[in-house]
């Protein structure tokens, strides 16, 4: 069917990996293909993200219910979309919302519908979603960037930095990268337990949450885990600096740092440890600091903008024009539709910026992001750790896709 039509559209309230409500949408096409998708939710959110609509009723899920967003799908969006082509869904959603931050319909409502439409389109074409997304693009298996130790809002604030991640930069296939990840994760747990730290319980994204004394101690444990596993690899940091930025200063380990001081701290860590990537090393609106950081470290490591860019073409364009960062984190729910997400990926690539497709701390069994990373040839994926089934759903989906794209030539590498 060249132009599949929506026959039915329905949304419901379901739960994410933190036991908090989110929106699931189902689309039935005229050819009776049934597709569904679920919107994820973040804990560490940038203030420039598209609005996630919550009910605010303290009697239901402590105010976190999404019945309003669900009603928006069932009572506002569905009547407009039923009988229309799947290809027109995103444009109609954006026009129907009519706001710059999706505050009318809610980014969670819009994204669930947008992704369900993409799945339905792939079904109608009788091809996998990654192949549907790969039209006019070269599909590639992504390099995983894997959470090992969690801090910040992902693990109770035991450390200021949010994530310390393993990057298997010498792996030659996705499956080899995943195998290395499991070995390092297990070695890290053993080292933490041997040192008297918690090496079993995990944070929101599956990384260990030990109460270490300093952020640098986490780096040291990662290096020791690499040596124990006999694997040479890189370290990635998700600094999430906005969350300890107050009064134009960065409050890190009982110190109050200027942007310049924070940059020098990051440079010292890059000098001392095998750090290959730094995400949100400075706050989301510290543009002057970001320019200095990029000048200082942009030639040595990947500098990713997450809260800085929030998967928004205007903020990415501003960063490109001002030579800020060199990579873009891509989160579907930061912008609210698949088409806008694809536009950011293409914009970044056209300007020489790397792209990293990322999950959220509140994830679900939905595996769309795995197909997105492959279909767009994004190059990297950041799912979380290799425990918790909402994470493994994506890693296992990538293993299935690799059966169709096997061999080093189909792996993005580092």
Nearest alpha-carbon partner for 338 in 101, 51, 93: 93
Asked whether the CA dihedral 379, 384, 390, 392 is positive or negative, the reply is positive
154 backbone dihedrals φ, ψ, rounded to 5°: -90, -10
- The structure tokens 């940038």 sit at 46
Residue 349 annotated as catalytic:
no
Q: Which of 205, 279, 390, 402 is catalytic?
A: 205
Is the CB of residue 116 less than 8 Å from the CB of residue 124? no
Contact present, 117 and 27 (Cβ < 8 Å): yes
The single residue of 102, 140, 331, 394 carrying the catalytic annotation is 331
Active site residue 331: yes
Find residue 105's DSSP bridge partners.
none
Give the number of C-alpha atoms closer than 13 A to the C-alpha of residue 48, restricted to the C-beta side. Answer: 16
Phi, psi torsion values for 8, nearest 5 degrees: -140, 150
DSSP β-bridge partners for residue 386: none
**CA quadruple 202, 146, 298, 330: dihedral positive or negative?**
negative
Which pairs with CB-CB distance under 8 Å and at least 24 residues apart come from 219-223? 219/164, 219/269, 219/272, 219/273, 219/275, 221/149, 221/188, 221/191, 221/192, 221/195, 222/148, 222/149, 222/164, 222/166, 222/188, 222/273, 223/273, 223/274
Q: Give catalytic residue positions.
A: 205, 331
């Amino acid at each position: 069917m060249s132009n599949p039509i929506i026959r039915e559209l329905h949304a419901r309230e379901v739960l994410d990996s933190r036991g908090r409500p989110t929106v699931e949408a189902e689309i039935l096409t005229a050819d009776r293909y049934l597709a569904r998708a679920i919107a994820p939710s973040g804990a560490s959110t940038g203030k420039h993200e598209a609005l996630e609509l919550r009910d605010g009723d303290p009697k239901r899920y402590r105010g976190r219910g999404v019945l309003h967003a669900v009603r928006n799908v069932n009572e506002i969006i569905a009547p407009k979309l039923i009988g229309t082509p799947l290809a027109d869904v995103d444009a109609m959603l954006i026009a129907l919302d009519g706001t710059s931050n999706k505050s009318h319909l809610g980014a969670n409502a819009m994204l669930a519908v947008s992704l369900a439409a993409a799945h339905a389109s792939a079904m109608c074409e009788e091809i996998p979603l990654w192949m549907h997304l790969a039209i006019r693009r070269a599909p590639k298996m992504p390099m995983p960037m894997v959470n090992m130790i969690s801090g910040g809002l992902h693990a109770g604030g035991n450390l200021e930095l949010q994530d310390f991640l393993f990057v298997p930069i010498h792996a030659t296939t996705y499956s080899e990268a995943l195998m290395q990840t499991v070995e390092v994760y297990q070695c890290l747990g053993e080292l933490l337990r041997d040192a008297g730290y918690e090496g079993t319980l995990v944070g929101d994204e599956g990384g260990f949450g030990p109460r270490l004394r300093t952020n640098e101690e986490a780096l040291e444990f990662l290096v020791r885990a690499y040596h124990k596993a006999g694997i040479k690899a890189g370290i990635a940091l998700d600094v999430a600096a906005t969350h300890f930025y107050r009064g134009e200063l960065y409050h890190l380990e009982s110190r109050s740092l200027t942007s310049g001081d924070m940059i020098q701290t990051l440079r010292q860590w890059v000098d001392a440890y095998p750090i290959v990537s730094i995400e949100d090393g400075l706050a989301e609106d510290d543009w002057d600091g970001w320019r200095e950081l990029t000048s200082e470290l942009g030639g040595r490591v990947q500098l990713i903008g997450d809260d800085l860019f929030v998967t928004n073409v205007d903020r990415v364009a501003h960063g490109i024009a001002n030579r800020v960062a060199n990579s873009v984190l891509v989160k579907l729910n930061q912008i609210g539709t698949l088409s806008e997400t694809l536009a950011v990926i293409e914009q970044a690539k056209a300007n020489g910026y790397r792209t990293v497709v990322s999950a959220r701390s509140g994830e679900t069994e939905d595996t769309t992001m795995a197909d997105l990373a492959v279909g767009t040839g994004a190059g990297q994926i950041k799912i979380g750790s290799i425990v918790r089934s909402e994470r493994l759903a994506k890693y296992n989906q990538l293993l299935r896709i690799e059966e169709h794209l096997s061999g080093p030539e189909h792996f993005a590498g580092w």
